[in-house]
């Protein structure tokens, strides 16, 4: 018990407590900001809650007509979209019996189809099992309630990832700090070695998980009580639209009683995983990179893989699936396991049991054995190190960064990742209309002149005649199929021409508009394009920059070599100058790997036509000056990103100078560089303008 008390005391250092308090305060501040900020649909979360409060007095028969009436009389886009959302949710709530009937009907259809085909495979078994599960929900009557307060507790992505950061910081302080200070080496001489100590650290991690969960989600609950309508804990869980498809016959109160234990055990698994990484790796750079990459990959698998994909097991057998927790209750999904439908909740439970057992065993036993460090020498540097062939301070610093600082391994891993992440881009079209749209753009490519307008008027006249011919044929009694076949070629191009004319109307508002096929440039400059990678690239760029900068500076502080430099004739000036040069070269390398490769890939696939056209010719860049060309705009955002990378490197150097600890520097980078980018990924309004985000993202105009 004394060991546990000592571990708790070591965890409650001034630095750690301040960081955790900062994150604890940041969570509700950002929550309140998001609540009162207008979203992309034109309304706030408080508006959403207020509308539910207004319609709560209407009966089940009156509520839909009332919402429809409000939507018809709404004067703003935000009010219309808000009423549309609430109408959809309330309609689903009132037609829950029809939803249950549709599940049974689908199961019957699949059963009949499989009888004719003679194939009683996974689809039939899955449909039958799903029908049996949902048949237990017969008689459930969802109520029209405001779910904002509940979702602020159970579906708050920002809070979930703040908790992940807090767990990582606790794992660093519990395991890696003592390991980096070589304090654990003393424990080999004790009677029980390190095993009891690591078991105590695991117990402290479990206690920390419970405390963090209670504090973070308890604060969210207080916010819900103060700013949203009261939560009726006796209402069926299906009253909440997010949990409309839940297979569990639970009230909201029962759901919360199940939710928090599942959330806690998921966080325990993640915390133990972070502890295992800290125990297994000796370098803080590797601890940071492996932890960050693991969380990012798990999050990508969870958010991007479809539930019907053959890779669906990566979506559901996933740490983030448990961390998000609410999805375990909101959906009923079965995975095809050797032809049998196995529920994802059961699979996640087995996954948790196996992983938590492995993590606890590894954490408590790994450090109990001796692990010798091997010194790696590069052949090119071995000569100089052993025979004194050179006395170059620059080469010495290069060696320290590449080998002891692990920058060489990081660059090799980054290069392999870039090759995998950027396969050869190919010109692709989202639809047939886009193919014809490109043909029109190639045909009328260039500035929008009087001659171009004449050609467009001639093309428009053809479609006007087409409309007249179709009207005449319809008057003659021709069928729709006959008309579609007769005018097939003209009709197939009409939608593309309509899109072209709409774009021309926009170009006429400019001083000098250009016509060109802009899809490739949209990928590079439009953050709303589904192929755009601005946020993902910024994450990779930042992780690579932090790892390289820590490798350049970290070796000196790890072996305390930095203290010897005070006695040299020139002190640290020349030494830091060389490190700044290496930092600059590292930023150039990271920038080239992350951005230049992607830029060349996209431009080689979609071409450079329109590179000299005004950037404002693309509608999403209407704010950009008409004197700036597309090429100049791309150059500007690339330059912004490069400057942002240099500032990240300088930030790491400055943190090393003042904090003198690799672990403290990594935590600072997470708080002031990684976390603001995470807010952009979570969709927090105006987060793209925080700290270094404008420079790292580039496309903020």
Other residues' Cβ atoms within 10 Å of the Cβ of residue 232: 15
Per the domain annotation, does 56 fall within a domain? no
Per the domain annotation, does 261 fall within a domain? yes
Residues 441 and 400 in one domain: no
The answer to whether the CB of 522 falls within 8 A of the CB of 617 is no
Q: What is the number of structural domains in the chain?
A: 4
Residues 458 and 527 in one domain: no
Of 515, 542, 577, which residue sits at a domain end? 515
In the chain, which stretches have pLDDT less than 70? 1, 110-122, 180-195, 307-310, 366-391, 529-530, 555, 557-573, 701
Per the domain annotation, does 662 fall within a domain? yes
The answer to whether the CB of 127 falls within 8 A of the CB of 106 is yes
DSSP string, 540-557: HHHHHHHHHHHHHHHHHH
Other residues' Cβ atoms within 10 Å of the Cβ of residue 304: 11
Distance from chain centroid for Cα 591: 21
Q: How far is it, in rounded angstroms, from Cα 374 to Cα 403? A: 12
Residues 326 and 458 in one domain: no
pLDDT for the residue numbered 368: 56
The DSSP letter of residue 292 is H
Distance from chain centroid for Cα 96: 32
- Structural domain for 231, as ranges: 1-38+143-368
Of 111, 137, 163, which residue sits at a domain end? 137
CA distances to 17, 49, 64, 305, 337 from 342, rounded to whole Å, are 43, 37, 38, 18, 7
Tokens representing residue 512 in the block: 């000098």
Q: How far is it, in rounded angstroms, from Cα 453 to Cα 456? A: 5
DSSP string, 35-78: HTS--TTS--HHHHHHHHHHHTTS-TTTHHHHHHHHHHH--SHH
For residue 669, which of 534, 536, 533, 554 has the smallest C-alpha distance?
A: 554
Residues 295 and 438 in one domain: no
Per the domain annotation, does 43 fall within a domain? no
Residues 562 and 457 in one domain: no
Residues 228 and 248 in one domain: yes
Residues 326 and 209 in one domain: yes
pLDDT for the residue numbered 438: 86
Other residues' Cβ atoms within 10 Å of the Cβ of residue 351: 19
Q: How far is it, in rounded angstroms, from Cα 615 to Cα 521? A: 10
pLDDT for the residue numbered 563: 61
Residues 473 and 531 in one domain: no
Residues 6+ apart with CB under 8 A from 675: 165
Relative to beta strand 340-343, strand 446-447 is: unpaired
For residue 648, which of 536, 543, 537, 533 has the smallest C-alpha distance?
A: 543
Distance from chain centroid for Cα 420: 19
- The angle, 0 to 180 degrees and rounded to 10, between the axes of the packed helices 630-659 and 662-669 is 140
Q: How far is it, in rounded angstroms, from Cα 412 to Cα 419? A: 11
Is residue 446 classed as helix, strand or coil in its secondary structure? strand
Residues 189 and 114 in one domain: no
Per the domain annotation, does 381 fall within a domain? no
In terms of Cβ atoms closer than 10 Å to its own Cβ (0-12, 13-18, 19+), residue 82 is buried
253-306, pLDDT tens digit by residue?
999 999 999 899 889 988 888 888 888 887 788 888 888 888 877 777 777 777
* Radius of gyration for the chain, computed over Cα atoms and rounded to the nearest angstrom: 30
Per the domain annotation, does 382 fall within a domain? no
Is residue 335 classed as helix, strand or coil in its secondary structure? strand
Per the domain annotation, does 45 fall within a domain? no
pLDDT for the residue numbered 454: 84
pLDDT for the residue numbered 375: 46
Per the domain annotation, does 54 fall within a domain? no
Whole-model pTM: value is: 0.80
pLDDT for the residue numbered 215: 93
Residues 324 and 437 in one domain: no
Residues 196 and 311 in one domain: yes
Q: Residue 337 pairs with which residues in a beta bridge?
A: 340
Q: How far is it, in rounded angstroms, from Cα 376 to Cα 387? A: 17
Residues 529 and 666 in one domain: yes
Helix (H) or strand (E) segment spanning residue 514:
strand 514-515
Q: How far is it, in rounded angstroms, from Cα 525 to Cα 461? A: 35
Of 492, 515, 538, which residue sits at a domain end? 515
Residue in this structure with the two tokens 């090429």, named with its chain if needed = 631
Q: How far is it, in rounded angstroms, from Cα 237 to Cα 20? A: 33
């Amino acid at each position: 018990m004394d060991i546990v008390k000592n571990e708790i005391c070591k965890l409650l250092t001034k630095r750690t407590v301040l960081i955790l308090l900062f994150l604890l305060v940041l969570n509700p501040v950002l929550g309140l900001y998001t609540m009162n900020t207008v979203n992309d649909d034109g309304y706030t979360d408080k508006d959403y809650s207020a509308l539910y409060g207004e319609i709560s007095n209407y009966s089940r028969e009156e509520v839909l007509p009332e919402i429809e009436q409000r939507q018809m009389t709404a004067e703003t886009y935000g009010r219309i979209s808000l009423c549309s959302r609430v109408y959809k949710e309330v309609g689903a709530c009132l037609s829950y019996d029809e939803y249950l009937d549709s599940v049974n009907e689908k199961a019957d259809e699949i059963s009949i189809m499989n009888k004719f085909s003679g194939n009683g495979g996974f689809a039939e078994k899955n449909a039958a099992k799903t029908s049996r599960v949902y048949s237990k929900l017969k008689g459930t009557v969802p109520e029209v309630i405001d779910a904002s307060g509940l979702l602020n507790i159970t579906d708050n992505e920002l809070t979930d990832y703040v908790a992940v950061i807090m767990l990582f910081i606790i794992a660093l302080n519990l395991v890696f700090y003592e390991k980096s200070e070589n304090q654990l080496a003393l424990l080999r001489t004790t009677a029980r070695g390190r095993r009891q100590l690591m078991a105590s650290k695991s117990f402290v991690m479990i206690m920390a998980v419970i405390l963090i969960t209670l504090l973070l989600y308890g604060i969210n609950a207080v916010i819900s009580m103060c700013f949203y309508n009261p939560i009726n804990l006796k209402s069926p869980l299906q009253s909440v639209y997010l949990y409309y498809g839940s297979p569990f016959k639970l009230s909201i109160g029962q759901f919360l009683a199940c939710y928090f234990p599942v959330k806690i055990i998921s966080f325990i698994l993640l915390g133990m995983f972070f502890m295992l990484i800290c125990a297994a790796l000796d370098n803080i750079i590797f601890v940071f990179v492996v932890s960050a990459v693991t969380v990012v990959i798990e999050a990508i698998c969870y958010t991007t893989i479809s539930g019907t994909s053959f890779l669906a097991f990566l979506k559901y057998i996933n740490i983030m699936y448990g961390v998000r927790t609410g999805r375990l209750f909101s959906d009923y999904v079965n995975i095809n396991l050797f032809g049998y439908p196995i529920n994802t909740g059961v699979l996640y439970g087995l996954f948790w049991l196996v992983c938590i057992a492995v993590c606890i065993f590894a954490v408590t036993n790994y450090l109990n054995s001796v692990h010798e460090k091997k010194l790696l020498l590069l052949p090119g540097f071995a000569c100089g190190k052993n025979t004194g062939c050179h006395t170059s301070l620059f080469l010495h610093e290069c060696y320290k960064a590449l080998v002891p600082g692990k920058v060489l391994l990081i660059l090799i891993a980054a290069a392999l990742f870039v090759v995998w992440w950027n396969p050869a881009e190919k010109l692709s079209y989202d639809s047939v209309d886009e193919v014809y749209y490109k043909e029109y753009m190639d045909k009328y490519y260039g500035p929008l002149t009087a001659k171009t307008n004449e050609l467009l008027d001639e093309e428009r006249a053809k479609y006007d005649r087409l409309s007249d011919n179709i009207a005449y044929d319809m008057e003659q009694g021709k069928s729709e199929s006959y008309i579609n076949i007769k005018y097939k070629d003209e009709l197939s191009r009409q939608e593309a021409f309509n899109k072209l004319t709409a774009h021309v109307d926009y170009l006429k508002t400019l001083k000098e508009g250009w016509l060109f096929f802009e899809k490739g440039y949209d990928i590079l400059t439009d953050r709303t394009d589904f192929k755009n990678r601005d946020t993902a690239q910024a994450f990779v760029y930042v992780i690579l920059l932090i790892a390289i900068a820590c490798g350049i500076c970290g070796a000196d502080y790890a072996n305390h070599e930095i203290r010897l430099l005070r006695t040299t004739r020139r002190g640290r000036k020349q030494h830091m100058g060389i490190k700044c040069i290496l930092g600059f070269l590292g930023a150039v390398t990271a920038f080239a790997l992350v951005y230049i490769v992607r830029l060349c890939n996209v431009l080689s696939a979609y071409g450079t036509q329109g590179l000299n056209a005004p950037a404002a010719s693309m509608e999403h860049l209407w704010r950009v000056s008409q004197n700036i060309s597309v090429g100049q705009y791309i150059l500007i955002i690339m330059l912004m990103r490069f400057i942002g990378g240099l500032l990240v490197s300088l930030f790491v150097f400055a943190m090393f100078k003042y904090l003198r600890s690799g672990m403290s520097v990594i935590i600072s980078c997470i708080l002031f560089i990684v976390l603001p980018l995470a807010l952009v990924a979570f969709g927090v309004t105006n987060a793209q303008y925080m700290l270094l985000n404008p420079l790292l993202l580039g496309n903020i105009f």
